[in-house]
Structure 1
Amino acid sequence: MTFNRLRSTALVAGILLMAGPALAEPLFWSTQAKPVEETQRMREQVLAGFPGGVDYQPSDEGPWITRIQAEAQAGRGTIAVLGGLHGDLSSLGANLVDLSGIDVSAVGPAMVELGRLGTTEQKYIPWMQATYLMVANKKALPYLPAGADINALSYDQFIAWTKALAEGTGGPKFGFPAGPRGLKHRFFQGFLLPSYTGSTVTEFRSAEAEVAWNKFKELWKYTNPASTGYGFMQEQLLTDEVWVAFDHVARIADAFNQRPDDFVAFPAPAGPKGRAFMPVLAGIAVPTTAPDKAQALALVAFMLKPETQIATLRATNFFPVIATDMPADMPPSVRASAAAIAAMTGAADALPALLPMGLGDKGGQFSQIYTDTFERIVLNGQPVRAVLDEEAAVLRALMIEANAPCWAPDAASDGPCPVK
């Protein structure tokens, strides 16, 4: 037996000794809901209704993965259920039970597919999510193109809408968070480019990416020029400086909460490859070493019940992964955002584009490439093809230096994610 195996076995033995006799409560080992207040709400408001109770224990990512690996190496463990972001779970596929027997029909199929981790088995079940949305003042709705469905817009329809708004109101009414504190890079990484290329990294300099950037240049004509100073878009929505905007759900909340009757949330537009969106997706899984698999599977199914999903939203501010009615006492921002998120994630053309993974401390450099590309093409008017070729070389070098494999929607890679 190797030293590492001995050390791992000793670690698990120590855990079992500290735990004492087997507990009736299943251990829910999670990287989420770590703040003390959220942890308490998870225990008292979300999990108290599970028969026999649940031992919910949050952990930082390092100790979380160390304990999982130790139990897997020892061949036995105390963890019943794992909770974590997609990136937390993505490396654990071989150590997770197939959850295909659990009903996930209420979850959007694109998100269910992410939980398969590139296999034919359901390695984790989507649990909760946050994301980014579009929001519009209801005064903008009469300017929609004829026959357009606000929950199923294309980029061409969206551009036509912003053009009609600018011409009909005497000035551009679309606002974009392009300021220093704005999340503009997430729009390019998770929405615009994947909608046209089906990729975030590999097709960065493709002909389809060139089309995408030219579309955004067209959209920029009808974008409020003050957008280069915008951070949180709720501020400009509330002053009526803009009537339509894109931002993270947390950064548009005040608009709905202060003037709930004036705004509507809706999904981002779709391009030729689909309706790309960037979920911050957490999942729930069962390790192969779970002491009572039947009990663990029951807990996973419990987490998908509508009432549990609503309780989780109250406890964590993460949204349900299923379409469900919002209680009347939820804040207006929650009710509006939940409906739009359900429409986006459940759309037939939904295309999840995950947050960057595997970059370590180089995540900021990765995002800066997209910001630089935007500034060079859109703000400075440099040729799209030349900029993409030059920035692709920077991106390729970064992926190699970070040794970061591809993430969805790019196909899995052996080694660094390639940039064609």
Structure 2
Amino acid sequence: MFLRLKIAGAASAFALCVGASAAQADVLFWSTQAKPVEEAQAMREQVLNGAGEVDYQPNDAGPWLTRLNAELQAGSGTIGVLGALHGDFSAMDPEDLADLDDLGIGASSDTFNDLAKLGTGSSQYIPWMQASYIMAANKKALEYLPEGADINSLTYDQLIEWSANVMEATGEAKFGFPAGPKGLKHRFFQGYLYPSYTNGVVRTFASDSAVTAWEKMKELWAVTNPGSTNFSFLQEQLLNEDVWIAFDHTSRLASAFNERPDDFVAFPAPAGPEGRGFMPVIAGVAIPRTAPDMEASKALVAHMLKPETQIATLKATNFFPVIDVELPSDLPPSVQAAGAAIATMSSSPDANPGLLPAGLGDKGGDFNRVYVDTFERIVLAGQPIEQVLEDQKRALERIMEETGAPCWAPDAPSEGACPVE
């Protein structure tokens, strides 16, 4: 990967102007990320090295929001920079965050930069780091790719054809899916399948395009290792070669790449009619309107997007860069492989992120259960797709109405509870 930082000349001049004040300012970095003791220490000693006097204070979401709201209501405060997930920022009033367009920096993914505008015309936060789910394959499977297929820009149809080719050649279904009790299958449906086929996840739950999505899932299941109902961490099945092609979270594929780095490749999730759906966990940095030293805060935000800072953040947190940087060779093979796949996926022209559910409170488990039950009834039990979707639609409507959670990407924004149309 080549370095491609989106920093304009004016932004470079800005950094030079504010650098001196940043060196003497004591900026409170109030974050919901990098909370474990080891990560927080690495943030202070490595990530923030060279950023001036910074007081890095990670907290759980509750205390983080309580103090922030108190300062906003008072009209003044001590918090200089905020670190949080996209969902935390999207729940805020954009008027409470400083406009960061004058920094001239952003992620290499235009999709991420658009999300960071929070529905306004300017950057309300700057993407900082990301994690995601990816695909992985044994290199033995590569010779069975469909003719003309590019592993970095597969479609669902090509993935199904590829898995069928492997099955025909080996006599075994070798696509692996984390459908076990502890598998993350619900995230696949919410962040990958639904965005790729319906361009939504709540509004479009029972739509005609959702019917097509589940038909496609049934086709994929027909060439999936039947033991997948017991698979939760696909690295194990890749290593024992029960599976040659797999989908899972980067952390649940790591052992395969670290133990046998020459045997496996990582690549983006496939695309459907509505783009390349994927679920990024996006964290960003922002500045509250009550920051005591706006220039020092902006200098710290700019520091977080430097290439060397992005790599230091990866080492400290295992979250991946949001800009294109060449990863150093001393990182574990799993990080090298996953980092390249995530960068390709998030910056692809057809990227269509399905964000983590937000605003559901203690109903998050019930929300996930709707998608798991739908999978089990349609794909495993063979029940009629339209009937199942209508049944589950009512359960989803109750959850959204009880929580009042507004829509999140890729669903169109809503006033109040996200409707199930």
Would the aligned equivalents of 2:106 and 2:127 in 1 still touch at CA under 8 Å?
Answer: no
Does residue 211 (structure 1) correspond to residue 212 (structure 2)? The answer is yes
Give the Cα–Cα distance (whole angstroms) in 1 for the partners of residues 104 and 176 of structure 2: 40
- Give the alignment's Cα RMSD to 1 decimal: 1.0
Alpha-carbon distance change, 106 to 118 in structure 1, aligned in 2, over 3 angstroms: closer
Tell me the TM-score normalized by structure 1: 0.93
| Cα shift at 1:219 | 0.7
2:69 matched residue in structure 1: 69
Letter in 2 for 1:139: K
Residues 96-136 of structure 1: CA deviation (Å, up to 9, x unaligned) = 00111223355201111111111112101110111100000
Mean CA deviation greater in 394-403 or 361-370: 394-403
Would the aligned equivalents of 2:97 and 2:286 in 1 still touch at CA under 8 Å?
Answer: yes
| Cα shift at 1:88 | 1.4
Give the Cα–Cα distance (whole angstroms) in 1 for the partners of residues 102 and 351 of structure 2: 24
| Cα shift at 1:53 | 2.7
Would the aligned equivalents of 2:327 and 2:336 in 1 still touch at CA under 8 Å?
Answer: yes
Does residue 250 (structure 1) correspond to residue 245 (structure 2)? The answer is no
1:80 matched residue in structure 2: 80
1:309 matched residue in structure 2: 310
Q: Percent identity?
A: 63
Would the aligned equivalents of 1:104 and 1:112 in 2 still touch at CA under 8 Å?
Answer: no
2:361 matched residue in structure 1: 360
Give the Cα–Cα distance (whole angstroms) in 1 for the partners of residues 63 and 369 of structure 2: 30
Matched residue pairs, number? 397
2:396 matched residue in structure 1: 395
Give the Cα–Cα distance (whole angstroms) in 2 for the partners of residues 46 and 107 of structure 1: 20
Letter in 2 for 1:235: E
2:411 matched residue in structure 1: 410
2:136 matched residue in structure 1: 135
Mean CA deviation greater in 89-98 or 371-380: 89-98
Mean CA deviation greater in 292-301 or 246-255: 292-301
Aligned-partner SS, 1:299: helix
Does residue 117 (structure 1) correspond to residue 118 (structure 2)? The answer is yes
Alpha-carbon distance change, 126 to 106 in structure 1, aligned in 2, over 3 angstroms: closer
| Cα shift at 1:90 | 1.4
Give the Cα–Cα distance (whole angstroms) in 2 for the partners of residues 402 and 97 of structure 1: 29
2:28 matched residue in structure 1: 27
| Cα shift at 1:194 | 0.9
Would the aligned equivalents of 2:183 and 2:233 in 1 still touch at CA under 8 Å?
Answer: yes
Q: Structure 1: 5+ residue runs without aligned partners?
A: 1-22
Letter in 2 for 1:78: T
Aligned-partner SS, 2:26: coil
2:56 matched residue in structure 1: 56
Give the Cα–Cα distance (whole angstroms) in 2 for the partners of residues 264 and 104 of structure 1: 31
Matches within 5 A, 1:36-55: 36-50=37-51, 52-55=52-55
Residues 306-333 of structure 1: CA deviation (Å, up to 9, x unaligned) = 1100000111111111121111110000
Alpha-carbon distance change, 104 to 145 in structure 1, aligned in 2, over 3 angstroms: farther
Letter in 1 for 2:356: L
| Cα shift at 1:62 | 1.2
Letter in 1 for 2:187: R
2:89 matched residue in structure 1: 89
2:262 matched residue in structure 1: 261
| Cα shift at 1:399 | 0.7
Residues 19-70 of structure 1: CA deviation (Å, up to 9, x unaligned) = xxxx8221111011111111110000110221x2311111111111111111
Give the Cα–Cα distance (whole angstroms) in 2 for the partners of residues 404 and 77 of structure 1: 29
Aligned-partner SS, 1:101: helix
Would the aligned equivalents of 1:323 and 1:339 in 2 still touch at CA under 8 Å?
Answer: no
Give the Cα–Cα distance (whole angstroms) in 2 for the partners of residues 75 and 394 of structure 1: 42
Alpha-carbon distance change, 103 to 65 in structure 1, aligned in 2, over 3 angstroms: same
Aligned-partner SS, 1:136: strand
Give the Cα–Cα distance (whole angstroms) in 1 for the partners of residues 378 and 63 of structure 2: 43
Alpha-carbon distance change, 399 to 105 in structure 1, aligned in 2, over 3 angstroms: closer
Give the Cα–Cα distance (whole angstroms) in 2 for the partners of residues 212 and 127 of structure 1: 32
Letter in 2 for 1:189: Q
Q: Structure 2: 5+ residue runs without aligned partners?
A: 1-23
2:321 matched residue in structure 1: 320
Matches within 5 A, 1:154-303: 154-303=155-304
Would the aligned equivalents of 1:48 and 1:54 in 2 still touch at CA under 8 Å?
Answer: no
Tell me the TM-score normalized by structure 2: 0.93
Would the aligned equivalents of 2:107 and 2:127 in 1 still touch at CA under 8 Å?
Answer: no
Give the Cα–Cα distance (whole angstroms) in 2 for the partners of residues 380 and 298 of structure 1: 56
2:385 matched residue in structure 1: 384
Give the Cα–Cα distance (whole angstroms) in 1 for the partners of residues 139 and 364 of structure 2: 37
| Cα shift at 1:142 | 0.7
Letter in 2 for 1:83: G
Would the aligned equivalents of 1:26 and 1:79 in 2 still touch at CA under 8 Å?
Answer: yes
Aligned-partner SS, 2:102: coil
Give the Cα–Cα distance (whole angstroms) in 2 for the partners of residues 277 and 307 of structure 1: 26
Aligned-partner SS, 1:213: helix
